[in-house]
């Protein structure tokens, strides 16, 4: 029994001596690994600030800039960790860590598929020069001013001051019309005048009214005017002209201004804008007289 105890104690002492020798022999590697981690920590801070400055020139959204800076810092720290493990000759631990990270990353990716899709879509939208905060856009049936693009949602403010929140991946998967990319918009006006009107006079009057109302229209010749059809109560026309505008609100204001000016000009020149009229003709061609009507009414009572 005593010999077994001495043998076990000897093995324990040998094991402790071996560990102590291993620690002593690996002290330089341990110190180097600690220095690598410290260097990675401070490098991550520097890289985060540098990336933030670089991204600031191209991305206006603060949430996107912070997210990109944090991701860059995490990458630097992870790289320092892998180098430190390699210095400590912990190759197996490094391999196990990478394998575990891969499995965990796959599980997280499957669980958060929709969230990650919106996140990456938000990053892509933030770097697109043709979609910026303040632009007036139309997409997925909504139209308004772009208020925010974050890692999850695309926010619009409509003309009625309502806020619309749209997932980022929906914006990437659907067409988007950006009114702010051009400095000019074309106004379309459709109206009709009475059949008794002098059509040439109406055309010239409409063109001159538009030219005098908008400074962007240099002359009446810049206004397009086309008669389109013989309507039920009027002869209809289409009028088109260009204005300087970058949002749908400016376009609506210009159209309102043009309608008011045309109505005043037509009233001044006695040009009729007829409304739908239904004419009922009673010429008694059916041979129905008042006596027959009274008789039929009395039978129904």
Give 248-285 as a DSSP string. Answer: HHHHHHHHHHHHHHHHHHHHHTT---PPP--------T
d(CA 11, CA 8): 5
Domains of the chain: 2-111 (1.10.287), 132-179 (2.30.30.60), 182-268 (3.30.70.100)
Q: What is the pTM of this model?
A: 0.51
Helix (H) or strand (E) holding 23: helix 2-56
Looking at residue 289, its pLDDT comes to 56
Q: Please compute the mean of the pLDDT values over residues 1-25 and round it to a whole number.
A: 65
Helix (H) or strand (E) holding 177: strand 176-178
Closest CA to 119 of 152, 72, 71: 152
Rounded to 5 degrees, φ, ψ at 141 are 85, 5
Res. 60: pLDDT tops 70: no
- How remote is the C-alpha of 214 from its chain's centroid? 32
Q: Which residue has the tokens 């944090």?
A: 70
d(CA 245, CA 175): 22
Residue 240: pLDDT band (50, 70, 90) is very high
Q: Which residue has the tokens 């988007």?
A: 176
């Amino acid at each position: 029994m005593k010999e077994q105890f001495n043998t076990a104690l000897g093995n324990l002492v040998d094991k402790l001596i071996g560990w102590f020798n291993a620690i002593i022999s690996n002290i330089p590697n341990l110190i180097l690994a600690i220095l690598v981690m410290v260097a990675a920590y401070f490098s991550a801070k520097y890289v985060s600030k540098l990336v933030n400055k670089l991204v600031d020139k191209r991305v206006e959204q603060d949430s996107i800039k912070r997210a990109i800076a944090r991701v860059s810092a995490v990458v630097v720290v992870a790289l320092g960790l892998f180098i430190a493990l390699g210095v400590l000759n912990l190759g197996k631990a490094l391999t196990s860590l990478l394998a575990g990270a891969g499995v965990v990353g796959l599980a997280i990716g499957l669980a958060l598929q929709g969230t990650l899709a919106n996140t990456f879509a938000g990053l892509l939208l933030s770097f697109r020069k043709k979609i910026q905060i303040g632009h007036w856009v139309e997409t997925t049936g909504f139209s308004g001013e772009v208020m925010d693009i974050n890692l999850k949602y695309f926010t619009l403010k409509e003309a009625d001051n309502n806020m619309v929140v749209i997932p980022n991946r929906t914006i990437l998967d659907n067409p988007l019309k950006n009114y702010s990319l051009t400095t000019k918009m074309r106004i379309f006006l459709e109206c009709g005048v009475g059949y008794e009107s002098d059509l040439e006079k109406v055309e010239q009057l409409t063109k001159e009214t538009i030219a005098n109302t908008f400074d962007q229209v240099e002359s009446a010749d810049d206004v397009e005017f086309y008669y389109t059809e013989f309507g039920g109560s009027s002869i209809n026309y289409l009028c088109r002209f260009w204005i300087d505008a970058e949002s749908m609100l400016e376009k609506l204001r210009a159209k309102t201004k043009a309608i008011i000016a045309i109505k005043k000009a037509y009233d001044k020149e006695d040009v009729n804008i007829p409304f739908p009229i239904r004419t009922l003709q009673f010429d008694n061609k059916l041979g129905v007289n008042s006596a027959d009507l009274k008789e039929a009414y009395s039978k129904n009572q």
